[in-house]
Structure 1
Amino acid sequence: MRRQLVRLLAAPLPLLASLGLFSAPASAAISAYDSTTQYVAMGDSFSAGVGAPFGDLECGRSPLGYPKLWAQAHGISSFTDVTCGGAVTEDVLAEQISGLSAETDVVTLTIGGNDTAWGEKVLTCMASGDAACTNTVNQAVAGMSTVATKLDATYAAIRRAAPNATVYVLGYPPLFEETAGCSVWIAPNQYQRKELNRFARALNQTVMNRSTSAGFTFVDAQPFFAGHAVCSSQAWLYPIANITPLHPTPDGYRYGYFAALNSVTG
């Protein structure tokens, strides 16, 4: 299966952004994991590392995404990476579950964002105005129960396939700073950014509730990206006018996602 790499924003958008290179972070001082750990990375573009350099053509998996950074920090030279940009819960069930086994020790995962058609909501807000934006977000928040049902099925399948694994479910970052003065080429207007962040909080709450109910560990990425969303002077997410819009930069994967995960795993 070749999925569109960036389903978060599927419509064609202006390109161009320079990408920097960053070395892998140092190993954690204390950790329950080591070179013998059987690690499987699952999920969508935020786990694949879409937006970081050297991503593969099929799924956008980058060595500068958080799974590789985490594995390197724990001395894990080889791990199973089934992540893919654009993945929805159906893809996890149909194609990624096969990467798991009873020998799997650790699983990391981001999933659910594409099931909500998050990118379409951003485009609706920008193209249709404030009232349509609020209506779209209201409907999406009210419909989170559908996403919850899909997550429940996905988490249950992961537990069946990897009964002995510790599973870390990472949430999504806030996409936008809510301060004024941000160009339309960078983000929606201030009102729309607040509405879209309201949607993101509802999504994260749903992911947290369902993952903890499944007995998994939820890793909240929001505090680690605080002050570094789109419209920040030090943004760790790419702006609208980019080939990978609203996805983390290499700094976002390193100082946002990797830092969040490592704060929980040691």
Structure 2
Amino acid sequence: MRRNLLRVLTAPLPLLVAVGLFTAPARAESSTYGSATRYVAMGDSFSAGLGAPGADLTCGRSPLGYPTLWAQAHGIASFTDVTCGGAVTDDVVAKQIPSLNAGTDVVTITIGGNDAAWGSQVLTCMQSGDAACASAVDKAVVDLPAITAKIDTTYAAIRQAAPNATVYVLGYPLLFEETAGCSAWIVPDQYQRQQIDRFGRALNRSIADSAARAGFRFVDAQAFFAGHAVCSRQAWIHPVLNLTPLHPDAGGYRFGYLAALTSVTG
């Protein structure tokens, strides 16, 4: 087992995560990106495309993840994908940042969920009841400043390695609907789903604040996933009993993440 459950769950193996978002989508100008754009995709499984068809067994990268879809939509010839399921901030610094240089034009990234060990909170909620769930989330919220410091350091390293790039930081979707009644099998109860989403919103606020401090653009994904989480009638998130549980499916990457990124890039 890896150092925390979420890291296991964001690797190309069965997993379990939950995260959230809070801002409204921005409106994009017409795109300035094209075939000459030099684009590097970075981050964890939510950038790799784990959960979409065709994901590889090493890092869970799928050609139907949002980075490849965005590069194809803009006819980008210079596209480097260093995303990897299970990545934490230390992995980004050690293994992914070397792909950046002064000629990099665009960077996209999701990171922070594994550092926060979100999967451990989800597992606690599902196995140990409401009180333990709330306690785990309370502790995780208190511990967020330490995670934020790691994210700040990572963003600073990205800026140093790619001083001319526009960096888009994508948030995580809320993976559970919070309303009463749920037809999905084996899910946290309503209170637990609300607690899990509470931490997701707090994590995404921290990520957005870090992005702002670094001069990066935070991209709201949740506004595009709204109404399509687990327990919805048309979910874009895989259920718990799945080889890639609680990760977006192909629809989630195309109509959720890609749509969110396109809303700010054109």
TM-score, reference length from structure 1:
0.90
Residue 102 of structure 2 corresponds to residue 102 of structure 1: yes
Q: Distance in 2 between matches of 1:6 and 1:67?
A: 22
Q: Distance in 1 between matches of 2:223 and 2:134?
A: 25
Give the percent of matched residue pairs that are identical in Structure 1 and Structure 2.
Answer: 69
Aligned residues of 2:108 and 2:167 also touching (Cα < 8 A): yes
Q: What is the CA distance between 1:179 and its match in structure 2?
A: 1.5
Q: Distance in 2 between matches of 1:103 and 1:51?
A: 31
- State the match for 2:215 in structure 1: 215
- State the match for 1:23 in structure 2: none
Aligned residues of 1:5 and 1:58 also touching (Cα < 8 A): no
Q: Distance in 2 between matches of 1:3 and 1:136?
A: 17
Query: Structure 1 stretch 232-241 or stretch 71-80: which is displaced more?
Result: 71-80
Q: What is the CA distance between 1:183 and its match in structure 2?
A: 5.3
- State the match for 1:18 in structure 2: none
Judged with a 3 Å threshold, the aligned counterparts in structure 2 of structure 1 residues 51 and 4 are, in CA distance, closer, same or farther, namely farther
Judged with a 3 Å threshold, the aligned counterparts in structure 2 of structure 1 residues 168 and 251 are, in CA distance, closer, same or farther, namely same
Poorly superposed stretches of 4+, deviation over 3 Å: 2-6, 8-14, 183-186
Q: What is the CA distance between 1:185 and its match in structure 2?
A: 3.2
SS in 1 for 2:115: helix
Aligned partner letter, 2:167: V
- State the match for 2:205 in structure 1: 205
Aligned partner letter, 1:70: W
> Would you say how many aligned residue pairs link Structure 1 and Structure 2?
252
Aligned partner letter, 2:93: L
Q: Distance in 1 between matches of 2:182 and 2:8?
A: 21
- State the match for 1:182 in structure 2: 182
SS in 1 for 2:187: coil
- State the match for 2:171 in structure 1: 171
Aligned residues of 1:5 and 1:45 also touching (Cα < 8 A): no
Q: What is the CA distance between 1:263 and its match in structure 2?
A: 0.1
Deviations 1:216-256 (A, max 9, x none): 00001111111011110101111111111110010000000
- State the match for 2:151 in structure 1: 151
Deviations 1:27-65 (A, max 9, x none): x99311000000000000000000001111110100000
- State the match for 2:264 in structure 1: 264
Q: What is the CA distance between 1:181 and its match in structure 2?
A: 2.1
What is the correspondence of 1:3-152 to structure 2 with a 5 Å cutoff?
7=7, 9=9, 30-152=30-152
Q: What is the CA distance between 1:142 and its match in structure 2?
A: 1.1
SS in 2 for 1:211: helix
Judged with a 3 Å threshold, the aligned counterparts in structure 2 of structure 1 residues 34 and 10 are, in CA distance, closer, same or farther, namely closer
- State the match for 1:253 in structure 2: 253
SS in 2 for 1:255: helix
SS in 1 for 2:91: helix
Q: Tell me the C-alpha RMSD between the 2 structures.
A: 2.3
Judged with a 3 Å threshold, the aligned counterparts in structure 2 of structure 1 residues 160 and 29 are, in CA distance, closer, same or farther, namely closer
Q: Distance in 1 between matches of 2:3 and 2:82?
A: 13
Deviations 1:162-203 (A, max 9, x none): 000000000000111012222573421111000000000000
Aligned partner letter, 2:109: L
Aligned partner letter, 2:256: G
Q: Distance in 2 between matches of 1:180 and 1:208?
A: 29
Q: Distance in 2 between matches of 1:162 and 1:60?
A: 25
Aligned partner letter, 2:248: P
Judged with a 3 Å threshold, the aligned counterparts in structure 2 of structure 1 residues 114 and 164 are, in CA distance, closer, same or farther, namely same
Q: What is the CA distance between 1:8 and its match in structure 2?
A: 5.8
Q: Distance in 1 between matches of 2:123 and 2:183?
A: 15
Aligned residues of 1:89 and 1:115 also touching (Cα < 8 A): yes
Aligned residues of 1:100 and 1:161 also touching (Cα < 8 A): yes
Q: Distance in 2 between matches of 1:91 and 1:163?
A: 20
Q: Distance in 1 between matches of 2:255 and 2:203?
A: 22
Q: Which has the higher contact order (CA 8 A, sep 6+)?
A: 2
Q: 5+ residue gaps in structure 2?
A: 16-27
